[in-house]
Amino acid sequence: MANVALKDFSWKRMIAAVEDVRERACRATAALQKAGIAHVVIGGNAVAAWVARVDKEAVRNTKDVDLLIRRQDLGDAIKGLEAVGFVHQYVNGIDLFLDGVKGSVRSAIHVVFANEKVRADDLAPNPDVTESEPGPEFPVPTLKALVRMKLTSFRLKDKVHLQDMLEVGLIDEDWTAQLPADLAVRLKEVMQSEH
């Protein structure tokens, strides 16, 4: 085992970790709503919101908050989020918001831009903020937009999120017919890896 300082096992710490992410998401989206900035909570929180609609026991927790906004709204978003305690930073090409001056990059709010690719070689750009619907406490992408984003990013955690959606029946093999060919290939790959 690595040389790390271990604390006692604690349900309270585990629950607090989840609650901290929820609180950050709600505080950030309330600030953006107040500022009149169209936004969508994406990533693991969006997957969790969708999966919970089918099976709460299949929900996977996440440590950060990912937000989709339009690039032209970034300046107003910075003002709105800083007004509620977040600190804007630009790190390795990513706009993010630490939760206070002592906040961690690990638990930061990460911003991605609507209608843009995250990486130049991505297969598709992000959806627009209009491809969303009201979620539990904040807007989330439509299921189609979320699946496209996960198939485009296609990192290990994206594949796991897709497996979660497959497992609860949110998506299935029929989806390959409604996706662009290159994304359909990726969905088939995820489905094959489940067996």
Domain ranges of the chain: 14-141
pLDDT in tens, 27-82: 999 999 999 999 999 999 999 999 999 999 999 999 899 999 999 999 999 999 99
pTM over 0.75: yes
Q: Nearest CA to 131 among 178, 186, 68? A: 68
Residues 7 and 4: their CA atoms lie apart, in Å, by 10
Dihedral pair phi/psi, residue 10, rounded to 5°: -155, 120
Q: Which residues pair with 65 in a beta bridge?
A: 109
Q: What is the pLDDT of residue 58?
A: 95
Q: What is the pLDDT of residue 2?
A: 73
Q: What is the pLDDT of residue 108?
A: 94
pLDDT at 195 over 60: no
Topology of the domain comprising 14-141: Beta Polymerase; domain 2 (3.30.460)
In 3-state terms the chain splits into helix, strand, coil percentages (rounded to 5) of 50, 15, 35
pLDDT in tens, 161-184: 999 999 999 999 999 999 999 999
pLDDT in tens, 142-155: 999 999 999 999 99
- CB 60 within 8 Å of CB 44: yes
pLDDT in tens, 67-122: 999 999 999 999 999 999 999 999 989 999 999 999 999 899 999 999 999 999 99
pLDDT at 194 over 90: no
Q: Hey, is 107 helix, strand or coil? A: helix
